[in-house]
C-alpha cells in the first residue's frame, strides 16, 4: 500500500472487513430461517416473510487435508442464490452439515490409535472455520454431523421403519398409482387370518408354522432383510462391498484390492420394489437430462416377454421328467428364429440337463469345450466349464475379450412355436443375475447370438427383414448370413408362421404384441418387465458406521429394537479395523470389529413383545456410508425435534408438493416436492441420489413425509481443475514449486516439467488452499473469482494469477464509494444522466435474470461494466453506487455490507432491498443501425430508437455505400428497425 492511498481496498483491509462482518452476522443470527412449527416454531416470523426457499449442497466428508478451492465452488453458488432471494424478502433456508462416518477416519484411527470420533470432530472444526471465513450465510443452528447420536438415532429409526415394512404391489395409493410400502404387521395379519397366501407358505397355513418358519416367510417380504447371497467380498479390506463400490476391473473402488464373489449372510434393501417409481418419477423432477439418463440406465427397465421352452430332464432324481427353461426376451417377435438356447453356468437346471454317459450322436467337436482333457463326456465338459466360470467374477468375465465360449449340455429343448429341437448350451455370456439366467438365442436378430452361432456352426434363420419403401419386406434381401451380421433394426417379420399363428408381414412392434398375446393365451409365456437394478447390499464389516438396531434371539430370528432403545450407540472397541486378509485369500471370512466386544454383543433385553427378558446377540455389522446421507436434507428442517425426524408441518412447509409441476415436466405430472435447489457433483448422480430417493419414497408411503421426492431441482456443478506438473520421469511434482519461464514453459528447480490439468488433491500434488487465497486477496475476491470463472455446470481450470482481476473489480467498486486518500464517502447526490440511468436499469434487469438462472459469470460481467462506466466519472452518483453495492452483495457480501454501512445505512443488507429495474427507464437517445449488403456489414448509422421502418429504409437506401452497391438495382430490402437493415442488390 502506498502512503497516499491509506484507504485503498487491499487484501489486508478486506480481511478486517470480512472478519468483522462475519462476527456481526453470527451475533445477529442474520441467516437463521424461522420454522412454522416444532421446537423452534416462530410462525409470526414465517408469516412476515415471503415464500420459502430451501437451498442445499451435498454435504462434505470432513477430510483431514482441509478444504481446497474446488470444495466451496458449489457452496458459494448456493450462498449467492440464497442471499439474492433473502434480499428479496424470502424465507431462505441454507445450511450445511457433515457426512462424518466412513472409511478414511477409521483408517486414520487404525494408523494412529486415536478414536475416529476425535479425528472426525477435529476435522469438522477445521472445515467449519474455513467455511465461516468464506462468509457463507448458513443457518449454523441447523448444522450437524451424521455421527451425532441425536442424528443417527433417527437413521436407525428409519432403518427400523423400512425393516418393519413390505411392498404391497396391489396397494392403491392416494394418487391412484399401484404399490406402496405397508407395515409388515398388515401382511402378518392377512397371512394369519388367511386372507392372503404367499408362495413362501408352500401351501401350509400360517398357524402350522413355528416362530422360525413365520419369521422366514416375513423376511422374504421385508424391505430390509438378511440374505445369504453372492456378495462382493474384499479380503484386502476385510469387508463386503456393494456392486457400486466395485470397479469394472473387478477390484475395490477404494484401495484397488481384488474382489471375490462369495455367499455370505448380509443385510439387503429391497430397492428393486421401487424400480418402476424410481424410473417414472424422474419425469417429475427438474434435473439435468444426463443425470436422469444415468439413473434410468442404472435401473435398466426393459419390457419384453418371458417364454417357456419345454425340455426333458436328462439326469438326476427327476430324469425323464418334463421341465421348462424360462427365458426373458425383449424380442419375442423373433421367436421363430430361436435356433438354440444358452443358460448361465450357475443356472439351477444345468446339472439335470446333462445326460449320463457320452455325447449325443453327431455332436460336433467344437461343442465339447475348449478343455480337451474334459471333453470326453458332457458331464466332464460342463463341469470343467462351470468351474472355470466360477473362478471369475461377473466383472472379470466381461473383461476378457468378447470372444464367445461355451459348452453343449447334451440336451435339447423345444422351440414352442416351431417345435424344433434346439440345443442347449452353457455359456458365460449369459449372466445369472439378469432376467432368468437363460436366453433363447436368435442369431439373425442379436449380435451376440450371431457371433456364438458363427463360432459353433449353429443354424441362422432370418425372421426380420428390412422394410422397403412400401413397408413390405425387401424382396431380394440377401439375409444376415450374407451380410455377415445380425439384423437388429426395425423391419418386417418373415419366416414366422406355424399352423396357429403368423407374424409374417408385421412390423416389429406389431409382431411383438401379436406373439405376446398368443404366448399368454397358450400358457407359453407372458409379457414381462425386468430390471438391471439389484437389491442394495446394506451391511459393512466396519467399525465407524451406524450400528444396526437389530438383535437376534436364540433361534436366530432378527428383531428390530423398539424406538425407546434408540439410539443404539457405538461401543468403544479394542481395535477399529476389521480383520483384513491377504488380498488374494478368497476363502477368508469377514470379522467385524464390533464382534470383538462380547459384553456389547450379548445382551439380555425386554423388547416389549410380550416375551419378557430374553438373551439376544446384537448385529455386529454396521451401515454403509450412504445411510447417513440418505435423509440428512430432512433433518435440517427440524434438527432439534426429539419426537420425529421432522415435524410434519415443517416438512410440508419446506419440501411439500407445490401446486405446479416442475419446468419441463410432461403434461399431467404433479410436483413431487423436495429441496428447491440441490447442488453437488455429478459423481453422486446414480448412487446417493438413487438411494435417497428410495428412502424418501418409503417414508412417503408410510406417511412420514408429504413429499414424494427428496430433490425437486438438482444442479450438477462442474469441477475446478488445477495445474499439475510432471517431471521427466512422469512423476508428479509439487505444483507450488513450479515457475513459468519467459517463453511460457514450466520448470521446477531449473528442470523442465510438463503441465496438465486435473482434480485437485494430494495425488497430483496440486493443492490450492482457500486459506492462501483469503490471505492474499480476501474472501470476497475469491468468491467473485470462483463465480466469474464460467458457467457453474462446467469444469474449468484454476489460474491463481487471474484472481487479481476480481480484486481489481472490488477495488474500483470501493474507490467509486470511498476516497482512497481520505477514507471519505465520495458519492454525490446528483441525478445520473440518461445514458447512465439506462445502463443502470438494464444492468438491474439483466443481473436479476442472471442470478435467478445461476449465471453468475455473466452477472459479474454486467456489474463490472456498470462499475467501469462509473469509474470514468469524476463524481459517482449515489443512486447508481447504492444499487451497484446491493447488486454485488450476494457475490461479495462483506465489502457490500461495509460500503452500504458507510453510505449511511444501518441494519445491514442481508434482507435487502434488492434493486428493482424499470424497463421504462431503459431508453436510448440513439441506437446504431447496422447496414448490411447481402448479409455483410458495410455501414452503420445512428438513428432514433423509434424510427419507423419506412423512414429507416429510405435513410439507408440514400447512403452512399448502399447506392454504390445497388447501382444495378435492388432485389429486396429487409428492415428490422431500428437495429438492422439488409439490402440485397439485384
Partner RNA sequence: GCGCGCGUGGCGGAAUUGGCAGACGCGCUGGAUUUAGGUUCCAGUGCCUUCGGGUGUGCGGGUUCGAGUCCCGCCGCGCGCACCA
Of residues 860 through 879, those in contact with RNA by CB under 7 A are: 860-861, 864-865, 868, 871-872
Among 230, 316, 790, 912, binds RNA (CB under 7 A): 790
User: Which burial class, exposed, middle or buried, applies to 311 when counting CB atoms under 10 A from its CB (0-12, 13-18, 19+)?
Assistant: buried
Torsion sign across C-alpha atoms 515, 521, 525, 527: positive
Q: Specify the residue, 601 or 861, whose C-beta has the smaller distance to RNA.
A: 861
Q: Specify the residue, 198 or 941, whose C-beta has the smaller distance to RNA.
A: 941
- Site membership for RNA, residue 278 (CB under 7 A): no
Among 209, 324, 388, 804, binds RNA (CB under 7 A): 804
Rg of the chain in Å (alpha carbons):
35
Range 935-964, binding RNA (CB under 7 A) = 935-937, 940
At how many degrees (to 10) do helices 893-902 and 779-788 cross? Answer: 120
Q: Which stretch binds RNA (CB under 7 A): 95-103, 608-616, 634-642, 789-797?
A: 789-797
Range 171-230, binding RNA (CB under 7 A) = none
Q: Shortest approach of RNA to residue 683 CB, angstroms?
A: 7
In 3-state terms, what secondary structure has residue 656?
coil
Those residues whose C-beta lies under 8 Å from the C-beta of residue 742, and which sit 6 or more positions away, are none
Q: Which helix (H) or strand (E) holds 439?
A: strand 438-441
- Site membership for RNA, residue 304 (CB under 7 A): yes
Rounded Cα distance between 451 and 544, Å, is 49
Question: Which single residue is written with the C-alpha cell 463400490?
Answer: 245
Q: Shortest approach of RNA to residue 311 CB, angstroms?
A: 17
Question: Which single residue is written with the C-alpha cell 413362501?
Answer: 200
Dig out the grid coordinates for 382 from the structure. Answer: 460342463
Rounded Cα distance between 833 and 146, Å, is 56
Q: Which stretch binds RNA (CB under 7 A): 466-474, 666-674, 800-808, 950-958?
A: 800-808
The mark string for 415-454 relative to RNA (x by CB under 7 A, - otherwise) is -------------xxxxxxxxxx-x------x-x------
Helices (H), 87-210: 103-112, 116-133, 149-163, 184-192
At how many degrees (to 10) do helices 834-852 and 856-871 cross? Answer: 160
- Site membership for RNA, residue 481 (CB under 7 A): no
Among 601, 797, 828, 955, binds RNA (CB under 7 A): 797
Q: Shortest approach of RNA to residue 393 CB, angstroms?
A: 11
Given a contact cutoff of 8 angstroms between Cβ atoms, the answer to whether 770 and 133 are in contact is yes
Q: Specify the residue, 352 or 428, whose C-beta has the smaller distance to RNA.
A: 428
Q: Specify the residue, 483 or 927, whose C-beta has the smaller distance to RNA.
A: 927
The mark string for 229-258 relative to RNA (x by CB under 7 A, - otherwise) is -------------------x----------
Rounded Cα distance between 151 and 155, Å, is 7
Cis peptide bond prior to 567, omega within 30° of 0: yes
- Site membership for RNA, residue 322 (CB under 7 A): no
Q: Specify the residue, 175 or 960, whose C-beta has the smaller distance to RNA.
A: 960
Q: Shortest approach of RNA to residue 699 CB, angstroms?
A: 27
- Site membership for RNA, residue 922 (CB under 7 A): no
- Site membership for RNA, residue 713 (CB under 7 A): no
Rounded Cα distance between 957 and 963, Å, is 7
Q: Specify the residue, 791 or 912, whose C-beta has the smaller distance to RNA.
A: 791
Q: Which stretch binds RNA (CB under 7 A): 17-25, 227-235, 286-294, 376-384?
A: 286-294
Q: Check residue 194 and report its DSSP letter.
A: T
Q: Which stretch binds RNA (CB under 7 A): 20-28, 136-144, 390-398, 748-756?
A: 390-398
- Site membership for RNA, residue 526 (CB under 7 A): no
Rounded Cα distance between 904 and 817, Å, is 12
CA 964 remoteness from chain centre:
62
Query: Virtual CA dihedral for 60, 63, 69, 75, nearest 10 degrees?
Result: 20
Q: Shortest approach of RNA to residue 407 CB, angstroms?
A: 14
Torsion sign across C-alpha atoms 519, 169, 164, 629: positive
Q: Shortest approach of RNA to residue 776 CB, angstroms?
A: 5
Q: Shortest approach of RNA to residue 304 CB, angstroms?
A: 5
Given a contact cutoff of 8 angstroms between Cβ atoms, the answer to whether 812 and 784 are in contact is no
- Site membership for RNA, residue 532 (CB under 7 A): yes
Q: Specify the residue, 611 or 940, whose C-beta has the smaller distance to RNA.
A: 940
Q: Specify the residue, 265 or 940, whose C-beta has the smaller distance to RNA.
A: 940
Question: Which single residue is written with the C-alpha cell 486435473?
Answer: 758
Residues in contact with RNA, counted by CB under 7 A, come to a total of 91
Q: Which stretch binds RNA (CB under 7 A): 15-23, 156-164, 638-646, 808-816?
A: 808-816
Angle (CA) 568-571-576 rounded to 5° is: 130
Amino acid at each position: 500500500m502506498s502512503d497516499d492511498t491509506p484507504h485503498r481496498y487491499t487484501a489486508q483491509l478486506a480481511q478486517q472487513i470480512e472478519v468483522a462482518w462475519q462476527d456481526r452476522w453470527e451475533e445477529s443470527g442474520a441467516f437463521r430461517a424461522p420454522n412454522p412449527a416444532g421446537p423452534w416454531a416462530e410462525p409470526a416470523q414465517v408469516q412476515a416473510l415471503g415464500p420459502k426457499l430451501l437451498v442445499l449442497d451435498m454435504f462434505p466428508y470432513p477430510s483431514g487435508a482441509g478444504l481446497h478451492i474446488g470444495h466451496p465452488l458449489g457452496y458459494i453458488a448456493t450462498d449467492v442464490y440464497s442471499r439474492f432471494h433473502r434480499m428479496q424478502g424470502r424465507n431462505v433456508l441454507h445450511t450445511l452439515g457433515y457426512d462424518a462416518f466412513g472409511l478414511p477416519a477409521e483408517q486414520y484411527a487404525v494408523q494412529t490409535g486415536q478414536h475416529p470420533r476425535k479425528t472426525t470432530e477435529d476435522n469438522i472444526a477445521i472445515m467449519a472455520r474455513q467455511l465461516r471465513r468464506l462468509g457463507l450465510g448458513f443457518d449454523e443452528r441447523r448444522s450437524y454431523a451424521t455421527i451425532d447420536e441425536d442424528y443417527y438415532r433417527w437413521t436407525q429409526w428409519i432403518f427400523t421403519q423400512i425393516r418393519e415394512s413390505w411392498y404391497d404391489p396391489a396397494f392403491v395409493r392416494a394418487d391412484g398409482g399401484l404399490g406402496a410400502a405397508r407395515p409388515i404387521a398388515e401382511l402378518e395379519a392377512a397371512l394369519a387370518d388367511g386372507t392372503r397366501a404367499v408362495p413362501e407358505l408352500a401351501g401350509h397355513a400360517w398357524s402350522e408354522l413355528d416362530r422360525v418358519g413365520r419369521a422366514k416367510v416375513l423376511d422374504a417380504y421385508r424391505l430390509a432383510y438378511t440374505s445369504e447371497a453372492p456378495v462382493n467380498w474384499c479380503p484386502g479390506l476385510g469387508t463386503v462391498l456393494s456392486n457400486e463400490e466395485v470397479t469394472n476391473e473387478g477390484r475395490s473402488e477404494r484401495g484397488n484390492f481384488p474382489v471375490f464373489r462369495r455367499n455370505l449372510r448380509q443385510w439387503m434393501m429391497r430397492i428393486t420394489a421401487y424400480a418402476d417409481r424410481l424410473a417414472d418419477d424422474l419425469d417429475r423432477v427438474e434435473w439435468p437430462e444426463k443425470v436422469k439418463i444415468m439413473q434410468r440406465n442404472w435401473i435398466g427397465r426393459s419390457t419384453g416377454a418371458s417364454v417357456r421352452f419345454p425340455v426333458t430332464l436328462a439326469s438326476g432324481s427327476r430324469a425323464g421328467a418334463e421341465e421348462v427353461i424360462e427365458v426373458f426376451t425383449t424380442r419375442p417377435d423373433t421367436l421363430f428364429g430361436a435356433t438354440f438356447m444358452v443358460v448361465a453356468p450357475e443356472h439351477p437346471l444345468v446339472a439335470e440337463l446333462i445326460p449320463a454317459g457320452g455325447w449325443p450322436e453327431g455332436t460336433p467337436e467344437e461343442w465339447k469345450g475348449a478343455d480337451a482333457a474334459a471333453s470326453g463326456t458332457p458331464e466332464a465338459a460342463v463341469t470343467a466349464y462351470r468351474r472355470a466360470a466360477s473362478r471369475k467374477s461377473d466383472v472379470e468375465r466381461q473383461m476378457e475379450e468378447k470372444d464367445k465360449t461355451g459348452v453343449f449340455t447334451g440336451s435339447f429343448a423345444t422351440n414352442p412355436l416351431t417345435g424344433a429341437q434346439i440345443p442347449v448350451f452353457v455359456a458365460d455370456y449369459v449372466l445369472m443375475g439378469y432376467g432368468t439366467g437363460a436366453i433363447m438365442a436368435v442369431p439373425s436378430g442379436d449380435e451376440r447370438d450371431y457371433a456364438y452361432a458363427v463360432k459353433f456352426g449353429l443354424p441362422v434363420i432370418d425372421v426380420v427383414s428390412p422394410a422397403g419403401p412400401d413397408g413390405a419386406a425387401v424382396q431380394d434381401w440377401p439375409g444376415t448370413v450374407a451380410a455377415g451380421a445380425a439384423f437388429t433394426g426395425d423391419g418386417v417379420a418373415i419366416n414366422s408362421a406355424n399352423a396357429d399363428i403368423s407374424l409374417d408381414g408385421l412390423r416389429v412392434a406389431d409382431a411383438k404384441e401379436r406373439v405376446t398375446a398368443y404366448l399368454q393365451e397358450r400358457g407359453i409365456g407372458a409379457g414381462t418387465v425386468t430390471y438391471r437394478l439389484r437389491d442394495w447390499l446394506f451391511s459393512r464389516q466396519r467399525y465407524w458406521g451406524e450400528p444396526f438396531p437389530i438383535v437376534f434371539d436364540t433361534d436366530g430370528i432378527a428383531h428390530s429394537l423398539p424406538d425407546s432403545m434408540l439410539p443404539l450407540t457405538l461401543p468403544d472397541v479394542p481395535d477399529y479395523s476389521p480383520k483384513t486378509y491377504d488380498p488374494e485369500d478368497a476363502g477368508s471370512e469377514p470379522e467385524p470389529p464390533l464382534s470383538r466386544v462380547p459384553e456389547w454383543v450379548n445382551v439380555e433385553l425386554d423388547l416389549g413383545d410380550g416375551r419378557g427378558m430374553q438373551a439376544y446377540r446384537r448385529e455386529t455389522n454396521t451401515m454403509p456410508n450412504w445411510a447417513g446421507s440418505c435423509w440428512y436434507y430432512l433433518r435440517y428442517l427440524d434438527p432439534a425435534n426429539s419426537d420425529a425426524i421432522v415435524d410434519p408441518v415443517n416438512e410440508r412447509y419446506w419440501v411439500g408438493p407445490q401446486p405446479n409441476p416442475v419446468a419441463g415436466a410432461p403434461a399431467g405430472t404433479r410436483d413431487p416436492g423436495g429441496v428447491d435447489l440441490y447442488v453437488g457433483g455429478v459423481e453422486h448422480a446414480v448412487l446417493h441420489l438413487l438411494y435417497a430417493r428410495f428412502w424418501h419414497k418409503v417414508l412417503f408411503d408410510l406417511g412420514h413425509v408429504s413429499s414424494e421426492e427428496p430433490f425437486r431441482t438438482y444442479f450438477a456443478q462442474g469441477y475446478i481443475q488445477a495445474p499439475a506438473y510432471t517431471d521427466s520421469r512422469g512423476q508428479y511434482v509439487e505444483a507450488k514449486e513450479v515457475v513459468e519461464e519467459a517463453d511460457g514453459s514450466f520448470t521446477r528447480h531449473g528442470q523442465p516439467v510438463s503441465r496438465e490439468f486435473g482434480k485437485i488433491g494430494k495425488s497430483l500434488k496440486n493443492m490450492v488452499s482457500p486459506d492462501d487465497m483469503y490471505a492474499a486477496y480476501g474472501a470476497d475476491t475469491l468468491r467473485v473469482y470462483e463465480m466469474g470463472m464460467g458457467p457453474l455446470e462446467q469444469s474449468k481450470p484454476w489460474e491463481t494469477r487471474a484472481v487479481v482481476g476480481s480484486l481489481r473489480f472490488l477495488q474500483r467498486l470501493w474507490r467509486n464509494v470511498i476516497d482512497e486518500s481520505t477514507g471519505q464517502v465520495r458519492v454525490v447526490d446528483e441525478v445520473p444522466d440518461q445514458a447512465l440511468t439506462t445502463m443502470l436499469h438494464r444492468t438491474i434487469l439483466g443481473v436479476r435474470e442472471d442470478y435467478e438462472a445461476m449465471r453468475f459469470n455473466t452477472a459479474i460481467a454486467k456489474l463490472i461494466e456498470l462499475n467501469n462506466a462509473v469509474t470514468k466519472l469524476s463524481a459517482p452518483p449515489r443512486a447508481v453506487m447504492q444499487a451497484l453495492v446491493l447488486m454485488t452483495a450476494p457475490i461479495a457480501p462483506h465489502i457490500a455490507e461495509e460500503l452500504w454501512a458507510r453510505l449511511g445505512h444501518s441494519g445491514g443488507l442481508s434482507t435487502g432491498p434488492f434493486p428493482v429495474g424499470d424497463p421504462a427507464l431503459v431508453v436510448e437517445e440513439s441506437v446504431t443501425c447496422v447496414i448490411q449488403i447481402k448479409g455483410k456489414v458495410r455501414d452503420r448509422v445512428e438513428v432514433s430508437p423509434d424510427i419507423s421502418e419506412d423512414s429507416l429504409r429510405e435513410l439507408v437506401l440514400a447512403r452512399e455505400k448502399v447506392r454504390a452497391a445497388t447501382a444495378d438495382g435492388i432485389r429486396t430490402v429487409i428492415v428490422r428497425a431500428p437495429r438492422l437493415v439488409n439490402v440485397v442488390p439485384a
